[in-house]
């Protein structure tokens, strides 16, 4: 079996765990590197873009090895015997379409929060793979030095309008589980799971350009080139261009006024108080130390994934790779979850 065939099977296996069949374009876009595939990488490094996609599609259609294992219906590829996930994808896409409408309405309102710089959708909604009870995961980028203030204000605002996820209230609620600052965009936790998670991010709101005109999302992509250690073609393009929200000038004015007030000595005091208050609550929460997840809280990153699905997804993926006879590829590890 060629390296490209192994990579295609690896990609289908990963998304089979998520219950999602893929189009040929999606297989190409999220193609997993099969380790040791130096000839595959060297070939694609010199091949024109259109030829890269053509190679993947031709291999899907003509490979005798893949045809033994893969079926195709309505342009979607999946493992033989797994046709039911085609209908599941359609159902989940419909649910995602409704959640996108709500996500955009809520994110528009977040523009009034001082020190917010970008709002990016992640998780199952970013993949259009939501269930009915799924929440809306957001990755929020704040101004450096104001991450605690921004988180505190966003949490309060989303709670007041009755849209914050907490307890058993999850359906269509906002899950504020990840914050970065505009000066600390690199994710230090590397794994196949995180590579796919961050490759699917959809920027809804981007309020800051660097001197070269790069959006924060593009800066994020450049800061996390390690994802190419897992996915052959990352970053290929910016996701969600059509979903992007146009900044509101009235909200911009309100945010700027608040930032002027909170950006100097008064703001430093507020940041210090909110940091101590939030850190104390986080340290007292038993979920912070729960095995199988990760909670990070410092001045550069706030991550709250105490019940991360990463471990079981990678375990299931490794199991599928073994069943496919690709034992050498069945050794993916998590990104350092709490033991």
The pTM score is 0.93
pLDDT at 44 over 90: no
pLDDT in tens, 216-252: 998 999 999 999 989 988 875 555 555 788 888 898 8
Residue 21 vs residues 27, 151, 157: alpha-carbon distances, Å: 9, 36, 37
pLDDT in tens, 123-172: 999 999 999 999 999 999 999 999 999 999 999 999 999 999 887 888 98
Extents of the domains making up the chain: 3-82+312-329, 89-306
Distance CA 305, CA 339 (A): 14
CA 121, 124, 126, 132 torsion-angle sign: negative
Give the model's pLDDT for residue 1: 84
pLDDT in tens, 67-108: 999 999 999 999 999 999 999 999 999 999 999 999 999 999
Per-residue pLDDT band for 57 (boundaries 50, 70, 90) equals very high
Q: 228 in helix, strand or coil?
A: helix
| Lowest model confidence (mean pLDDT) among 40-49, 198-207, 299-308 | 40-49
Average pLDDT, the chain: 90
How many CB atoms neighbour CB 241 within 10 A?
Answer: 9
Q: Where are the alpha helices (DSSP H) in 285-331?
A: 310-323
Roughly how many angstroms between the first and final C-alpha of the chain, as a whole number? 37
Q: What is the DSSP letter of 161?
A: T
Share of the chain above pLDDT 70, in %: 92
Give the model's pLDDT for residue 248: 86
Distance of CA 142 to the CA centre of its chain: 17
């Amino acid at each position: 079996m060629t390296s490209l065939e192994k990579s295609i099977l690896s990609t289908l296996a990963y998304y089979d765990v998520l219950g999602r069949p893929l189009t040929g374009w999606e297989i190409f876009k999220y193609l997993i590197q099969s380790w040791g595939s130096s000839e595959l990488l060297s070939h694609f490094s010199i091949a024109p873009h259109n030829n890269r996609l053509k190679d993947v599609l031709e291999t899907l259609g003509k490979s005798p090895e893949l045809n033994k294992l893969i079926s195709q219906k309505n342009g979607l590829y999946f493992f033989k015997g797994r046709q039911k996930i085609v209908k599941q994808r359609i159902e989940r896409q419909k649910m995602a379409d409704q959640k996108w409408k709500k996500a955009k309405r809520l994110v528009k309102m977040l523009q009034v929060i001082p020190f917010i710089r970008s709002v990016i959708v992640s998780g199952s909604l970013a993949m259009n793979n939501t269930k009915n009870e799924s929440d809306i995961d957001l990755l929020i980028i704040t101004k450096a030095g104001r991450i605690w203030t921004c988180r505190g204000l966003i949490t309060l605002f989303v709670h007041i309008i009755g849209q914050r996820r907490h307890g058993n209230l999850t359906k269509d609620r906002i899950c504020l589980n990840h914050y970065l600052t505009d000066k600390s965009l690199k994710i230090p936790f590397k794994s196949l799971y995180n590579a796919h998670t961050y490759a699917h991010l959809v920027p809804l709101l981007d309020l800051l350009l660097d001197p070269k005109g790069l959006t924060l999302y593009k800066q994020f992509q450049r800061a996390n080139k390690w994802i190419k250690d897992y996915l052959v073609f990352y970053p290929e393009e910016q996701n969600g261009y059509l979903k992007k929200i146009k900044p509101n000038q009235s909200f911009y004015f309100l945010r700027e006024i608040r930032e002027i007030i909170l950006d100097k000595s008064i703001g430093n005091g507020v940041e210090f108080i909110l940091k101590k208050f939030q850190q104390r609550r986080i340290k007292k929460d038993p979920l912070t130390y729960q095995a199988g997840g990760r909670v990070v809280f410092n001045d550069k990153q706030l991550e709250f994934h105490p019940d991360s699905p990463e471990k079981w997804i990678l375990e299931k993926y490794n199991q599928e790779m073994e069943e496919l006879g690709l034992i050498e590829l069945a050794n993916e590890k998590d990104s350092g979850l709490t033991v």
